[in-house]
Structure 1
Amino acid sequence: MAKKSRTKARESTSAASAEQADGAVGPRQPCPCGSGKRYKACHGAAGGEVYVARPFEGLPGECDLIALRELVPAATAPLTIKGHEDRTVRLCTLLPGAVPAMSRDSGEVWLGLQVQHQFGDPSRDLAAVLEAALAAEPGVVGLTTPPGPGTRMQDLVTDETLDVTVHDGFDFWVSDLEESADLAEALEQANGAATPTSRLASVEAAYWTNVGTKEHLRWVMPEPEDALLDALARLHVRGDDVIVPEARLVGMFRAHGLLCPVWDLPVGTGAEVLEEPAAAFKKALDKALAELAQDGAELTSEERAARSGLMNRQVTIR
């Protein structure tokens, strides 16, 4: 009996390893949607919603979209929508009450990225809400049930780039409304929870933030995970992953199919001094990626150890 059990356990382990190597999610692993349930009881259940690992792939500013959805408190970006080129559509990190969308009295449509629902494919969910908001009377537009197969944001957005504006707070919520005491109080509360954040201009999708006791640089990167980990490991061994003196690459988030390395920065660093070092790091990273893409290129034992350390400091958000 014991021998058979050991054989079965080895077979199960091999199958699980094969699933992970293919990028699949094991049935007993946490569902990547962030629900807290096991995959087999959530998006892996029979008849469940299909989970899309990289939902924003192909959209302009994919890395910035992920940052705005998961990391940035207050930011907006205009969108041009096919068939509705005459409508003003504003993509927002967060709307009041975390509502999915708002049709404004001005005729504008505001689409929220940070919402409560998770139906497996954020691109499809956003498209369903957006289409409903474009057809709705002024007010809040929500999504209470899975929208089912249908249009995705990739089918609607015609922009070639994403023009992100990071705000100090949520004053944009009331930019087209008359001032009132209730609005002022709600706005003050929301602004108090927004950590200072800036987007670097020298590279794509890199955001400095000050959380009070620490400062961070969080940088969503588009490269495939395995290649990026190899390159970051090589730079770490060379000592080239230090953005500024005393900064430290402490780990990374995994969100919507991409990795987001995170650096701790000395308090008082600020965003401006990161511009040139970040651009230089990007050049070093691209060089390491090119080196490792060559036929026969392999990591050294020291680089493999560094890579394992990086993998152990990953946190999956979505």
Structure 2
Amino acid sequence: MGKKSRTKGRSEASTPGEVGPRQPCPCGSGRQYKSCHGSKSGPPPVFSARPFAGLDGETDLIALREFVPSASAPLKLKSSDRTVTLCTLLPGAVPALVRDNGHIFLALQVQHGFGDPSRDLGAVLTAALDAEPGSVVGLTDDPGEGPKLQDLVHGGLDVSVHEGFDYWLTDLDDADGSMAALLEQADQAVSPTVRLDGVDAAYWTAMGEREFLRWVRPEDEDQLLDALARLHAAGEDHLVEGGKLIGMFRAHGVLVPVWDLPRGTGADALVAPVAAFAEKLTATLGDARPLETEERSVRSGLASRQVTIR
């Protein structure tokens, strides 16, 4: 009786073709339907599937925004010689700080979100350029139409990964030691992270007893999945002995393949094999042949292990 009732309830709750509340929203935002166009309050006012497209250093910026705990990079403005430093995180997760000398610190990991993070960053940076020295700059409401970050800056990202948040003290007099105390607390949450030399946006990290490589890729998702499926089916996607490709994140319109690595691998041991794999991947991306049966099966498995971050 109970089983029959449950079946009846399901049939009455949905109709063929209807989107379930926990299914991906058809708009392509990557959110669940109940949190997007199925929300009682409606979808976010703005959505950009690939907000940082066209920006030099797009993949590194995504890495710094999503999973690198502590890093910074200088930004070059198109219309000003002001000193601006892009940061993963600032004290209190504030969007921007303007130092007493005018140096602007612009943060990627923030608490607000109005649908297009590049537009949000553009709004914060524009406000910081006009703010008084010593100001904290943020967003409390949708910024509306305005420049995206790629409209305001040029050049790539020269990323520096830090062991902690000591860069917060740049240009700051911490005479009373209050910032040092905050740093000590923040540093405890930092997982060891290294950006690999020779390739863009590949980051080794150790989390507890485990090690991983996360590699933000700029290619079209379907094209990259096809190439990874071909390499996996051929047994050519292993970077080191005992390591394996375990899945991928999807963030800001690109994929981030993730390799699980044997304990003790370290970042240095990955430099040569990752560079070699990059060459194989580039060659495979140019293969336009239809996938074979085994490759299609592998591709389906890889797609099922994707986790959408944003």
The answer to whether the superposition gives a TM-score over 0.5 is yes
Name the counterpart of 2:50.
54
Secondary structure of the structure 2 residue equivalent to 1:201: coil
Q: Does 1:122 align with 2:145?
A: no
What is the aligned counterpart of 2:35 among 28, 34, 37? Answer: 37
CA contact 2:247–2:302 (8 Å) conserved in 1: yes
Q: Does 1:107 align with 2:114?
A: no
What is the aligned counterpart of 2:214 among 218, 223, 229? Answer: 218
Name the counterpart of 1:311.
303
Q: CA deviation at 1:34?
A: 8.6
Name the counterpart of 1:194.
190
| CA 1:44–1:202: 2 relative to 1, 3 Å | farther
In the aligned structure 2, how far is the partner of 1:69 from the partner of 1:316?
Answer: 14
CA contact 1:206–1:219 (8 Å) conserved in 2: yes
Residue by residue over 1:50-109, the C-alpha shift from the partner in whole angstroms, topping out at 9 and shown as x without a partner, is 20010000111000010000010011111111221x210000000111100011112100
Q: Does 1:87 align with 2:82?
A: yes
Name the counterpart of 1:158.
154
Name the counterpart of 2:166.
171
CA contact 1:234–1:299 (8 Å) conserved in 2: yes
What is the aligned counterpart of 2:127 among 132, 138, 143? Answer: 132
Which letter maps to 2:253?
G
In the aligned structure 1, how far is the partner of 2:255 from the partner of 2:52?
Answer: 14
CA contact 1:43–1:51 (8 Å) conserved in 2: no
Residue by residue over 1:185-213, the C-alpha shift from the partner in whole angstroms, topping out at 9 and shown as x without a partner, is 11111111011100011211000001121
Q: CA deviation at 1:158?
A: 2.2
| CA 1:203–1:35: 2 relative to 1, 3 Å | farther
CA contact 1:78–1:91 (8 Å) conserved in 2: yes
Counterparts of 1:245-264 in structure 2 under 5 Å? 245-264=241-260
Q: Does 1:237 align with 2:229?
A: no
| Residue identity (%) | 57
| CA 1:44–1:205: 2 relative to 1, 3 Å | farther
| CA 1:271–1:32: 2 relative to 1, 3 Å | same
In the aligned structure 1, how far is the partner of 2:296 from the partner of 2:30?
Answer: 26
Secondary structure of the structure 2 residue equivalent to 1:252: strand
Name the counterpart of 1:301.
293
Name the counterpart of 1:26.
26
In the alignment, structure 1 segments of 5+ residues that lack a partner are none
In the aligned structure 2, how far is the partner of 1:43 from the partner of 1:125?
Answer: 21
Aligned pair count reads 295
Q: CA deviation at 1:154?
A: 1.7
CA contact 2:227–2:285 (8 Å) conserved in 1: yes
CA contact 1:168–1:196 (8 Å) conserved in 2: yes
Residue by residue over 1:9-33, the C-alpha shift from the partner in whole angstroms, topping out at 9 and shown as x without a partner, is 55x26xx7xxx9xxx9426x9x536
Q: CA deviation at 1:177?
A: 2.0
Secondary structure of the structure 1 residue equivalent to 2:38: helix
In the aligned structure 1, how far is the partner of 2:33 from the partner of 2:127?
Answer: 25
In the alignment, structure 2 segments of 5+ residues that lack a partner are 1-10
CA RMSD, Structure 1 to Structure 2 (Å): 2.4
Q: CA deviation at 1:176?
A: 1.9
Which letter maps to 1:26?
P
